[in-house]
Amino acid sequence: MRRFDDATRRNIAEACAAFARLPDAAEPSALKRAAVVLALTASNDGDDTAFLLTLRASHLRAHRGQWALPGGRCDAGETPVEAALRELKEELGLELGSGEVLGMLDDYPTRSGYLITPVVVWAPDSTAIAPNADEVASVHRIALATIEHHDAFDFVVIPESARRVIRFHHQGSLIHAPTAALIYQFREVLAGRSTRVTELEQPVFAWK
């Protein structure tokens, strides 16, 4: 168990600092920039550290009803960290400053044309979470112990791609990339491993 306390914050910050992100491409990418947040807060029982996972509202135009980390497209002139913090406030009502940012993981290119930067943040006041019903159907606290189980993730092959599809098993649901890939890399960072995930595949339904 990783208690939600200052010692855990320091340990996770150190793990993020020790992780060397893949370098940015030398040439500008044609992909649209986006950012998501791995927001760390207290678990439901208050003992463990958890991250926040949302179920997207059913009326949204894109990816409706899907599991997702809070986040969205970067506005013009906005850095991924700025976009991540803005989206966290817009979706969950959590207003955090740059001092709560613990690190960033590898950018993940999606089949739908986005380059997603995952930003890890510490959210000390979990009572402030107020989901925006226009975007979020529900918000869930996933204890870090959950993703550290050996059977939390699996990999399958599909005829449409030579790349493995990653799946995160959560409460009877299967969560796919990009969300599953980013959570998996965070799990690996916590364990001190620099595991790359950009080649992990999305299911075909997520290709558009």
Give 121-154 pLDDT, tens digit per residue.
999 987 789 998 888 889 999 999 999 999 999 9
d(CA 106, CA 29): 15
Q: What is the mean pLDDT of residues 102-110?
A: 97
Q: What is the mean pLDDT of residues 25-41?
A: 89
pLDDT of residue 64: 53
pLDDT of residue 58: 52
Q: What's the whole-model pTM score? A: 0.94
Q: What is the mean pLDDT of residues 158-184?
A: 95
Residue 73 or 1, more confident: 73
Interstrand relation of 49-56 and 67-68 (parallel, antiparallel or unpaired): antiparallel
Q: Is 11 exposed, middle or buried (0-12, 13-18, 19+ CB in 10 A)?
A: middle
In this prediction, residue 60 has a pLDDT band, given cuts at 50, 70 and 90, of very low
Q: What is the mean pLDDT of residues 47-59?
A: 84
55 in Cβ contact with 43 (< 8 Å): no
User: Hey, what are 185's tokens?
Assistant: 């890399």
Separation in Å, CA 59 to CA 175, 202, 203, 208:
19, 22, 22, 18
Cβ-count burial 141-175 (b if 16+ within 10 Å, e if not): bbbbebbeeeebbeeeeeeeeeeebbbbebeeeeb
Q: Torsions phi, psi of 113, nearest 5?
A: 100, 20
pLDDT of residue 133: 84
Tally of CA atoms within 13 A in the half-sphere of 162 that contains its CB: 0
> How far, in whole angstroms, is CA 55 from its chain's centroid?
13
**Element containing residue 180 per DSSP (H, E):** helix 179-190
pLDDT of residue 131: 92
**Element containing residue 12 per DSSP (H, E):** helix 6-18
Report CA torsion sign: 58, 63, 67, 68: negative
Asked if pLDDT for residue 188 goes beyond 50, the answer is: yes
Residue 47: strand, helix, or coil: coil
**Element containing residue 143 per DSSP (H, E):** strand 136-143
Residue 166 or 208, more confident: 166
